Structure formats: structure tokens, C-alpha cells
Structure 1
């Protein structure tokens, strides 16, 4: 149709030149009208291409080969080839988020968690005894310690309504008796603090532990129990002053609200006697006392006849009612038993911290008072002879258990031998030195040598030929040297004293102090390797040193 050089020009897609109404397909020229596809919403554009394959347009087209998503606020348009890579990135980000969340929860809930414990208030007075000082027993295994939300706003006074006490030993004994009774009922001693005669103050449950005195009030108050029955006993000035000091310290330690309120037990549970009329008349000496319901405090106890009440109740009921009540009571008891059996989880006993000092006096291990008639003759002072023995009994590794062992030994000697504990000093397996008869008191540990020696007994059986024998520790030996050095400094021991085992001089063939302990003392600097004291009396020993 066109001469050479005058026909329409072709591009690479077989289209005629611009403005032409025909296209070339193969070698044939075809009208564009015959090949025009039916496509809607296509604007007139010079960039629209039509050919054997589908055309592309500048308008945004959503097709199945385009993936469009939004992640972290960024729009991602991914072709099919990039789907796997994008999915892997998303999975990694998700796992990183999970791990970071887990670490955050662990750090906040576990790493930063600090278990709450009993607060030790900053009161350092001779009249204030912490739980280890009065040898408190461990709480019951079913008791779960709960803590107050500090500061609390209330303080209550009560009394034990049993024995009073006016010296340290009797008061400790009374507090321990109260704790034994309360262990079965409350899991531990019920009051936060207890007050004995002459102003002794005992730490009970402590400053921040919920007590077991008044139901409904225990979680918002500090309870103080006075030892004795204050219908007859009288509150003395030392008790008042020391309790006021205790309360001020609790305020300083943020245990008590500065505007706390003080009440007697009978002011909360009205028509009751506790804390007793002799305390109530002196409550005005405590500045935070409130006198509400003070008129409802009784001066003596009134007891209802419970058997008579139950008899009247049974007598006035029908047989059917009695049977039904009995069945209901049995069911209630059975339900309580099942609840306790399946819900109470036993836990190991929480031992009290063993904070006693290394040198324990007779008063601290609650020794029975004993009147001594024999003292070391001054002619033998300062003493030259130290005799080491063992008790050949049970071991003890804590202050409370060693104190109990010593009380048992002393009780045996007083009851059977009619004399006090035989040793001048004892050394426990806990490494503490316990005063027996003490310095300048004649012992009863080694026959024929008691007048001129000091006897030291190690608690336990140190015979290695026995299964489960005791083994002397470095701490025990260190404390023994500390005791002996103190004796030299105080003038009770001569600087050139000698150490021997009981078997070195005893004439009855004793095995004391046991092979394990004997081998240890042989290494001591003052041990007598020449056995110079065997078969000699105290007078002969004294004469021997005087000649030198």
C-alpha cells in the first residue's frame, strides 16, 4: 500500500508509527480497531502498548503477583520471589519479642524478688532479748509466716494470766513455756513482744510479723503481752519505761505510725479482763492510749457453766433433732479433716539464726543455780595444769541444742551425783565455749587433780574406733586457745601451763578424751609430751614447780 520508504515505520513491538490507525502483526497489516481489547478504566495515554502479550500501564494495578503488607508502620510490597525472606524476618522478630518478654518477666518477677524476713529493730539494750537470746524454738512446720503492712496504726496490751517472773532466767523459762503451748495452737508464740518483771522485753513474733492475739485486728496491730496475772501483779516503773522506749523505737523504724493508738485487750474485745486492772490503771502513762471502752474492762473473770448449757440444750431437743445434729457434726468434722489433709503442705522448719557469742555464760544456757563450797586453793594459783576430756555423749551444732545438752548433763549430775556439772568449761561442736563451774571453782572431772587444774570438756564422743564418732574441728581448737589465753591474761593460768589428756593422768584407765581429740591436742604448743604429772598428787606437782 506504501511505496518503499513511505510506508509506516515499525517499532520493536510491531506497532506502526505514532498517529497510525493500523498495526503490523507478522507480515500483515491489521486495523487497530479489530484488535482493540475491551478494558475499562484505561485513560488515553501514549504509553499504552498493545500486542500479542498483555500490555502494562502506568496506573497502579493490584494483581495476584503483588503482596502488600504493613509491618511496624512501614509499607512492604514484595514480589513472589521475596516472600520467603520476608517471612523469615517476621519469624525472627516474633521469636526475639517472645525471648525479650520472657527475660523481662524473669528479671522483674524473679531476679528482683527479695523474700521478706523478720525485721531486727535497732534496739541494743541489755533488757531487750531477741529470739536467739531466749533460745526460741523453730515455728511449727505448718505455720506460714505472714507480714504486716507497715506502718501499723494500733498497739494492744494484754497479759499472759499465768506465772509472773522477776529475773532473767525465770522469765526466759516462762517465755519458752508459753511458746511451747502456742506452737500447737498458733504455730509460734502469739504476741509480737513480751514483757517480764524488772523491764525485760522479749522479741516474740517480731516487729513486722502478724501475731495471733485478736482475730480481725492481728493484721493491723503490734501486740505486747505482759508476763503474769495483773489482777494481782503490779506494773513496775522499769516495765513502763522500757515499753515506752520499745514503742519509740518502733516508730523510728517505721513499724508504727507516729500517730498510732494504744488500747488494752479488753477495750477491743469488751467485757474481758486482759491486760488486767493493775495495767489498765496505769495506761494513762502511755501518751498514745485511748480510753474508749475502758469502762467495759472487767476486774475478774466470769465463767459460764458450759456443761449445764449443753445439758439444757440436749434436754430441750427432740430425738430426731439430736440425731440430725450428731450427723451434721460428724460431717463438719469430716470436711474439716479432709480440707486440712489435702490443702496443708508441710514445709521444713525455719531455724532461727544462730547469732549467740562464742563465750556463753551459765546464765545464757539457763544453768540451774548451784551453791559452791569448794574453791581453788590460792596456793595452786595461777594453775599450771589443764586437763582435756570429752563428754562421751551426743553432739550439738547450734547454741540452742548445746544449751539443751548442757542442761541435761547438769540435771543428771544434780539428781544422781548430787553435785553440779563437773567441768570448769565445755566446748560444743558449734565452736562455742560454755561456762561450767568457771574459773577459781574446784571441778569434779578428774579424781585427785581437781584442786590444782582446770577441766575442759568437749561435747561429743571422740573415740575413732566407734562408728559415727565426733571429730574435733579447727574452730573448736581456736576457741579453746582463746579461752586459755583469756585465763592467762586474767591471772588464773600460769603463762607456762601444761595441757594433758585425762588418759595421761587418770588412774582408772579412762579413754577420755578419745583418740581423735587426743591426737589434736598433742599438736598444741603447751601439750605435756613428757607425761610429767602421772602418779603425782597436786601437792607434789606444786612442789615440783616451786623447786624450779
Structure 2
């Protein structure tokens, strides 16, 4: 049982604003911090709330720009940070075992780092209220362990528990004396973590909205009764790949309308909704309508017991939905599909009957019943979020005069379902509660092509308000910075177009779902490199991270072979994977960069600043 001291109870200031940025902690876990140098903990316990208030006040109003940390007798200046809109931690734990709510369990952290992609978006931030010279009390250690277990079992945190220094590339001692506890695994509760633990019989399906899917260019519905088979694939890439990166490959390099698979599964047993149960796939020649395609994210030999359990449980769910047995198949075993996919490990497993422990499947945003599915919506029972987020649907419904107005909370429920059906009837779309491309088109036609809440001259505000667009533009370094006034004008239009070009979206000044997805790919998956044409240590590390080899900043034979393998898998390059990166490899790289980002490179096999700049741009956009 975890008892949390609420913001009201410790006297928190209201946040300056609530960040609209998505929070996906199931992709990471928890990062542990301490407060800093010297002695910070206080006695008695009733003084701790004042200390938490001071931390919030300093974060929101401090005068010294930069992080200051004391390492023994040395003063170290870390990377500069802006003022925060709120206390940057999700939770704070004092020496007496008190757990204080910071940002809480529903908002992305701001304390972990912007240096490592996904550090804030994929991890909770938990601070131990001690300084570098304070000991860790048994009460604090026990409370942090209980909190981590609760976050993993109840609030969707992933398996990983790291120290702040693990997600920083610049110097920090944080979390100080708590770091040995992190290293020993003292804060891990066996069986905890989303995706199911070894003692948990529940696996989670994460909808398209949760992993930041781009909207599809086209959707071909398929009745579940048309399904006759179930096909297993593998990505043949690093296990660290995200569904969004795979979707980028399929849409930008292959020219497909969407990610090809119906579902994807990672090593932790997490299931990611691709095209879903009711949409035609693009995963196997001659079988896209009849077979549900499931891709394991990794190479041959990487599939864990949890991954196998997730795939087998998806198969059983499909059988339950169709009420008949589906053929168990693998990609290379289908007629007309000559490929090694899904590798020896999964091929043998499928041939042996796909034996694995079956688990209950639960949607991360709602309970999965096994009867209705999500219709590729990202929420069980409705809320077609591959086109428009649930919150944006609620805003649109309210914008057309629905009464009583919906609470714009991003949560799908009976009231939102009724509101969407009302809107569909009003704009002349089928009133099925699923906001798909047809509803989007009818809505825009009815509203004169507007976005619901934006100004008539631009600023697609059904996805993000004009003020939030201005903040995002400024956050990526636009100069001169926009005035965040919520008013759309020529300066904001120019800024949004600049941002769209930077993140790899169409620079049309309309912030729609495609721009939203590209923006989050940039800030969450992007490498944050300076595009200068220098293939230095930072660019090498980012490339190594993308191609799945040891990240050491040294460009040796292993990295070169991994690059060739990466280009073969995702660019169909046909290279010999020998670690000799000559003109053939560079030509393949140039062609791949052109297809992924429209780099416009001359495919001449010459390695130079232009090719490196295009590589840095692709890495920044999460498109490599």
C-alpha cells in the first residue's frame, strides 16, 4: 500500500501551465535523483513539506541559470536549463519515508534530461530528498522501492530503474548516495513492470495514440470474419527500435500508407497496436487481408518468453474474436514470400505450434474485453486516435455546440462516445463513434476546412492550441522567439513552417496530426545533433544507437557491418556485410537518406559533409 501526500496537502503552487507533451513511461521506467550537494534532509518530519515547497519555488522562479552541483570541494556547472513550469519531479521521497506528489503519475517529467532521447517522455522522475552528504535512511529506501513497484504495477512504468547519471551525457553525481541502491537493484520489486512480469498474467496493448503514430494516408477496413491466418514476423533490427521508427521506414522509405503490421511486440512483452484488428495490413504478399501480421521487434534469438507469450496471446485473442481456428504461419512460409523472416528462433517456434504461456490482454487506456477490439482506434470501444486524439475529438464536439459540453480530458468513455456520434450525425458521417478518415473529411467539410478551435488563417488547433504551437517553436530554438499570446499571425505562421521543416513535416503552417507526430519523434526519438557535417563522436554515438551496436563513439568494423545490415534491412540495399564501407555502402546510405528525409543527395558514393549533414538530420528526426 502506497500512501501519497497530495499537492494540496503539502501546499503546492499551481503549475504555470500543463504541458501537452505525451508521457509514455511504459517505454522506460523510473529515474532516481537526489537534491544536490551538501546536507538537505531535515528533522522532524513536519518540516519536509516546507522543503518540497522550496524545491518547487526554486524550480519555477530561480535566478541562477544553469545547474550547480558540488562534487567534493569542486563547483561544477552543468548544462543550462530554463525555468520550469512546475516542480520537475513526479514524486519526492523524504528521509522519513513520506512520498510527496510532484507532477504526479499522469504528466511527463522534466528533471531527467534533454540530452538522452526519451529520458523525460519515457521515465518517471523520483527524487530522494537528501543531499550528497546525507545518508540514505531505511525508511527512504523502503518508500522508494514501494513507490517504484506501484508505478510499475499500477501506473504503467516500464521495467527499467536508472540513476540520473545514467540518462545524462554531461557530468552529474546524481543520485549521489542513492546510486548504489540503483546499481544493486534494491528498488526493483520482482514481477513489476508493464508488459507483465514473471509473476503477472496480464499483458498490455498500447494504442496508436500512446506511441505517437502518424495518421495513415489510407485505410482499407477488413471484417474480422475475413481473417483465416496469423503471421509472425521480426524486424531484424535492434530491440531498442520504436514502433514510430518502424512506421517511418514503412511510410517514407517504402511509400506505404502506414506501418505494415497489425501489431508489434517487444522483448518486455509490450504489444503495440499497428493497423489493428480491422484494417488490411502490408506485411506479406498475398496475405494482407486474410492474415493478421504481428512483428517481433528484434533479431533472431532476441525473443524472450514474455515476447512469445504476447504473440501467442494475440493469436488466442484473434481466435476468440473469429470463433474459429486461424492458421499459425510465419512470413517466409507463406506462398510467394521468399524471405528469412522471422529468423530461425521464431520460425522453429511457429512450426512447433507457438507454445507459450497465455496471458490476459488489457489496453493501456482501458480494459480489453476480447469481443470488440479497438478498430485500430487506440482505445477499447472507440476513439479513433490514429486520425485525431481523443482530446481533439472532445474539443471538436464542444466546438459544434454539444451540450452539456464534454470534459476535455483525453479519456474515452460513454459521454465522449455519445458526443462523437452526435457530431457524426451533425456533419453527415456514419454515427459509429469511430473518428476515422471519413469523419475527419465530413467534419472539415462541415466547418469549412477548419480544425476546430484554430483561427481562420491557420494554426491547426484541434491538435495543439496556437499558444502551445508558439511554445513548441520557441522550444526548438526559433529566433527571434515568438510572443506566446495565442494569436495566429504571419510571425507564428512562419515559425510553425520553420518547425515543420526542422522536424521533417510538410511545411504548410497547419499543425495537424502529421506535424504532431513528427514533432514528438524529433524531441523524443531525435538525437539533438548540431547539423554541421562533422562525423564526430556525438554523431557516431547517435548512429550506433540507431543501428543497434555498442555506443562508444568509435567507428570501427562492428559499427560499419551494423550500418550495412541496417541498410540491407530497411533500404533493401543488397550490400555484403563485411565492414568495408566503400562507395557501394555510401551510395546505399545516400539513397536511403533521400527516401527517408528527401535529402536530395547526389547518389555518387562520396562520403563528405553533405552526406553527414543528411545523416544528422535523419537522426534528429528519428528517421534513420
TM-score (norm 1): 0.35
Whose radius of gyration is greater, 1 or 2?
1
